[in-house]
Structure 1
């Protein structure tokens, strides 16, 4: 539960809407309780009256109608305010989380993809409704119980203590026990949900290979196993909820019987009338409506607590790299070098071993090698996404560990092999590279990558919407769009990691042949497995984590 309290600053920002939701929820419950109590008093008084003509039917019936309208309007307002606050909380929560995730990039090797997706989706969703389905109803129930106990203390003192104890058991005791009993199961639900998402995501993305190699049944078995684990965990959670619901009903029965016994004694003593006793009895029953909601709330609270712990774990991870205490300035130019660099992702997983590599300012260099040879690791080291275990990476003679990360990444830009085209306009996609770029600069970048004429032919030109993941573009056009975005940056060094990934051989050759012209004036490092045209300044081979002797481009 302490993990949930760590998110209180986000709730405090929305204290106005959340307080309004709580007040409206309390008004709804109070109106419902008063409605049932007044109805009971009204019907009993009318039945007991021997002077029907003299009995005032209009005032009670008007009260019933008025309370009905109040309950309807307050319920509507509660839902409107609560959901609006929840959506705002969701936005704040995602901003909070992503602000903490960016310094942790890349996360691929630290968390499984399915686990990361589960935390970004399922855990956030479990937490964003914590007020609406847990904290809000609990607060409302406690306040309603205090109000009803106070009313009984004045009108039917003999029932006040029994009611208070029964209601406290239903509103506090049962939820606390349910959360304690469901804590482990709630964590299992969250974890099982994450596993199911991960298996489903891997199966969908790898569907073609699974079909080709005849492994669809294996994927189906994994999905069924993960779904079975989730179903069993949810059944256990539901069983706990059923027991808790029974306990709430038992508490309500105790409170009702206690009120009835005290009411009959007071009625016999003449200190209370029959209609008032009937009204109080029905009001007691109605007040337990809040406790009935707490069963669902407490069960959600257990899952929310587990989700909060997972999000806190993610947000408090130590970044792979941090800014130096006293950053140094970066001299002009784009010369980069690796000096005796060794790097590995764990014991026995050495990727680079004592690599020495120098890249001259303004040159266009290709780094070639098979998959797993360490090419992409070099790209991460040049951007300081990771730090070497030994050796140094220098930019213009300065160790990049001594410069501010923001300064480094303004000077060195990276286009990854899976660089995305976003579901937005062409203009918005390009402005990611430099948000103050003029239209003239955008057109220059598009012309440089041979996309200018294509974009001009579109009805809305730069304001044309691109489909999700660039589906309205060919593979070659999508890669060139990402390259144009990278070129727009003011970086003096451009690192392209497998820029022709997913392209056919002809498009790949044309793309690589264009790069030296397109990036003229910038230091360009192309990491690829493909054959490199002769117009590159150098081609460097990487094999098993070592850089072999340079050779001429071919």
Structure 2
């Protein structure tokens, strides 16, 4: 419940009004049996009852109006709580350290943002406030029934307590079971997300049936968990119905006998029966609300599990330490790194990138080239050594300031669902249409802006599926060039390009790199033979540094890579 309070804080005024309306409605409901008793006693005594009847009608209508207003207010507040939860969770999800995305299934995180936050609505609309109003009505009804006939009250409490005990026992188990349900739903969402993201690969592999079966197994697990919750919830209504019917029959039997003996008046018996319904129905409502609350708190536990994960920490970009005069733009000093403890990927990597130069990182697959760029961007921090930007350890530079000074093009070059304009404006939201058209031309994508009547607003599809691999790569480069950062980090920018577009892209990179520092990961050595320095990596270690001609003579590994790509003759 303490974890729920932050979600309620900004809605406290609406909740206070809902509670006030609930109390007013409860008071009006508790007054009605007394008025019915007065009417019946007045009719029996031959007194005028017009005023009491009119007041009863006014109370009934007022109760209906108050109840309607309360329900709308609760529904609106419930939606507001869901909105607050979703905003907060989405903001937190997008700021988690990259390592958390490596560990967790994206579909499960999406499920927490969708299905789990939806459960919070029921906590407000059918949970806490209704439980409170139910408690008020039950307390008032008990007092009134005690004043009318303590013996009938004792019989009623005994019958109702038996049903309430069953309901409370079932409700206490619901939180744990509902959490299991949400976890199984998360697993199912993850399975579906995985299948949809790889649908082309799945179909090309003829694996549709196996993937359908995998999703089906996840759905069956969610179904089984939901059935366990349904079985518990199925105890609630029958138990309370049995308690209600039993107490009603006992009151009628015993109350009728007491009326016949003269110990109780007819009006008092009718009032007691009405209070009995006011006792049992709100009590059942309160117990159902308690069960709903347990379900919602189970979902809240999954939300808070993610909210408890540490976010990427950052400081004030204006507080970034000043550059060290004369220091290289980028320097790696004894950098080691492991994704998993005890399984190092990089071993004491050291090299420097002078200002205005081009440095290429080459080596066999798995040698750690892309990991080095990820460390520069601070997606991860080194386990040993230091990465320095202009002489300052990047761990001392706020991430926002660091990433504003670097432009990073990933190896997979993803395009986000949306339009060309949406993708280009990610790094430079203030760019004009003329800027967008210019940068597209620089990477040989000018035709994209004129391919359809939509122009820059043409959709690229989910993950850029409406673009070719090369177009996605060049679009990613255009996005980075638009921000004009002083340091460019390119992870295999030409891997998906044909020879013609590779030449065009190299020309674009040459043009924009004239006044920038460039670090590029390359498998095609032909694209980096003119680099100012080439760093050769093997199994996470630097094995050679130099220019192309020098490395051909001095580095067996580089010579082998160059020979395999027909850049030199095999020895």
Instruction: After superposition, give the CA deviation of every residue in 1:90-119 in whole Å (9 maximum; x if it has no partner).
Output: 232233234444443202223233433333
Pick one of 66, 69, 81 that aligns with 1:77: 69
Give the secondary-structure state (helix, strand or coil) at the position aligned to 2:387: strand
Aligned to 2:323: 330
Count of matched residue positions in the alignment of Structure 1 and Structure 2: 544
Rounded to whole Å, the distance in 2 between the matches of 1:461 and 1:499 is: 25
Residue 180 (structure 1) aligns with: 172
1:310 is aligned to 2:307: no
Deviation at 1:399, TM superposition (A): 1.7
1:361 matched to 2:355:
yes
State the Cα distance separating 1:206 from its structure 2 match. 2.8
Do 1:540 and 1:549's aligned partners in 2 also have CA atoms closer than 8 Å? Answer: yes
Q: How does 1:248-397 map to 2 (within 5 A)?
A: 248-253=240-245, 255-257=247-249, 259-260=251-252, 263-264=255-256, 267-268=259-260, 273-275=265-267, 277-285=269-277, 287-294=279-286, 297-318=289-310, 328-331=321-324, 335-369=329-363, 371-397=365-391
The answer to whether the Cα contact below 8 Å between 1:175 and 1:298 also exists between their aligned partners in 2 is no
Q: Which of 4, 8, 13 is the aligned partner of 1:11?
A: 8
- Closer, same or farther in 2 for the Cα pair 1:153/1:377, shift >3 Å? same
224, 239, 244: which is aligned to 1:232?
Answer: 224
User: 2-side partners of 1:315 and 1:40: how far apart?
Assistant: 53
**120, 135, 143: which one aligns with 1:150:** 143
Of the three residues 478, 485, 489, the one matched with 2:483 is 489
CA distance in 2, matches of 1:373, 1:169: 69
The one of 409, 412, 425 aligned to 2:406? 412
Give per-residue Cα distances to partners, 1:183-205, cap 9 Å, x unaligned.
43223222222222222222232
1:343: how far off? 0.8
1:350 Cα deviation (Å)? 1.8
TM-score normalised over the length of structure 1: 0.80
Give the deviation of 1:236 after TM superposition: 1.4
CA distance in 1, matches of 2:328, 2:257: 93
Q: How much has 1:492 moved relative to structure 2?
A: 1.9
Distance in 2 (CA, whole Å) between partners of 1:370 and 1:77 is: 69
Give 1:390 deviation, angstroms: 1.6
Q: CA deviation at 1:345?
A: 1.5
The root-mean-square deviation of aligned C-alpha atoms, in Å, is 4.3
- With 512-521 and 57-66 compared, the bigger mean Cα shift is at 57-66
Query: CA separation of 1:271/1:213 partners in 2, compared to 1, >3 Å: closer, same or farther?
Result: same
Shift of 1:11: 0.6
Q: Distance in 2 between matches of 1:499 and 1:126?
A: 45
How far residue 307 of structure 1 moved from its aligned partner, in angstroms, is 2.9
Which stretch shifts more, 13-22 or 542-551? 542-551
User: Which residue number corresponds to residue 394 of structure 2?
Assistant: 400
Contact 1:513 1:533 in 2 (8 A): no
| Residues 135, 286 of structure 2: 8 Å contact kept | no
Pair 1:105-2:97 in alignment: yes
Query: How far apart, in 2, do the equivalents of 1:352 and 1:381 lie?
Result: 11
Q: Normalising by the residue count of structure 2, what TM-score does the alignment of the two structures yield?
A: 0.78
Residue 195 of structure 1 is aligned with which of 175, 187, 194? 187
Q: Rg: which structure is higher? A: 2
Of 8-17 and 491-500, deviating more is 491-500
Cα distance in 2 for partners of 1:502, 1:133 equals 55
Q: Which residue of 1 aligns with 2:542?
A: 547
Contact 1:413–1:486 under 8 Å retained in 2: yes
After TM superposition, give the deviation of residue 417 of structure 1 in Å.
Answer: 4.2
In 2, the alpha carbon distance for the partners of 1:154 and 1:247 equals: 27
Mapped contact 2:122–2:293 kept (Cα < 8 A): no
> Quick one: distance in 2 between partners of 1:505 and 1:174?
75
Q: State whether structure 2 residue 160 is matched by structure 1 residue 134.
A: no
Cα distance in 2 for residues equivalent to 1:539 and 1:192: 50
Q: Secondary structure at the match of 2:341?
A: coil
Paired residues for 1:200-215 under 5 Å: 200-215=192-207
